[in-house]
Amino acid sequence: MATLSEWIEGARPRTLPVAVAPVAVGSGSAHVLGGFNAAYAVLALLVSLFLQIGTNYANDYSDGIRGTDEVRVGPVRLVGQRLATPANVKFAAFASFGAAALTGLALIALSGAWWFLLIGVACIIAAWKYTGGNNPYGYLGLGEIFVFVFFGLVATLGTTYTQAGRVDLVTWAGAVGVGAIACAILVANNLRDIPSDLEVGKHTLSVRIGDRNSRYFYVALLVIAAICVLICGARHPWALLGLLGLAPAVPAVITTLKGAVGRDLIPVLARTGITSGTYGVLLGLGLFLA
């Protein structure tokens, strides 16, 4: 039986800044568009957090039953380390998805954006199919696309739209920046896992493009995030605070370019996760100050 602390670690709390960032940026964008609503922002944050936790448990379950996690380096794997039964982890995943769905329904009902029902269903299906089902796209090198679209574009644009009823160039730039850093987290994770993924036939993007190109791709994603801040700052100068949010990634970039492997990449993953939060919060704050 897994302990409470193991269940909490299995939810991978270090990834939760990925869920906070799009809501912070999206709410800041709604503010400059004259439509910020604190209650809607809280609901959007809960949806994002529940989806992230559900995705983490779903990945733990699906990778665990395939045996993918048995030789992996990194955080607790509830199924792979036989700390919890697959059925219980699967239940935790769908309980989280259910909580996201209920919270999302409340947000949709209040905002009147009923067409978001389809997007919500797509989010849950995409979260499960990342490593679940017969042909998980995470095993085909398509995980970064899912992360960019759903944890970047959909989460940020959706947050703004449910509050302000519209989006603009700044919203899109913020969404791309948030999505780029979310992708960088996945690239750091998959770069670390290239050896074990090769052994089990998991063809992530990092496996497909190789070690060196994965490192360059990681840095390029962070550069894209910086460019997106400059675009936002051209219209709202306070948004340039988002550049300070990239500071925690500087040591991670140095470590990555120096060729760190295995456990030495764990701090890179942690720092990139922190960067996701600091980037989103400071860019969102800059938009509020605007």
Q: What is the 3-state secondary structure (H, E, C) of 208-233?
A: HHCHHHHHHHHHHHHHHHHHHHHHHH
Query: Is 174:28 a contact under the CB 8 Å cutoff?
Result: yes
Question: What pLDDT is attached to residue 210?
Answer: 95
Region class of 12: left (phi > 0), else alpha (psi between -120 and 50), else beta: left
pTM of the model: 0.91
* Cβ–Cβ under 8 Å, residues 169 and 235: yes
Per the rule left: phi > 0, alpha: psi between -120 and 50, beta: everything else, 95 is alpha
Average confidence (pLDDT) per 10 residues, the chain, 290 residues: 85 91 98 96 96 92 76 72 89 95 95 89 89 80 91 96 96 98 94 87 90 96 98 97 97 96 92 96 96
Q: Give dist(CA 191, CA 209) in Å, integer.
A: 10
Residues 122, 115: Cα–Cα separation, whole Å:
12
CA gap 70, 64 in Å, rounded? 7
Name the DSSP class of 151. I
Q: What is the pLDDT of residue 113?
A: 87
Alpha carbons 87 and 281: distance in angstroms, whole number: 36
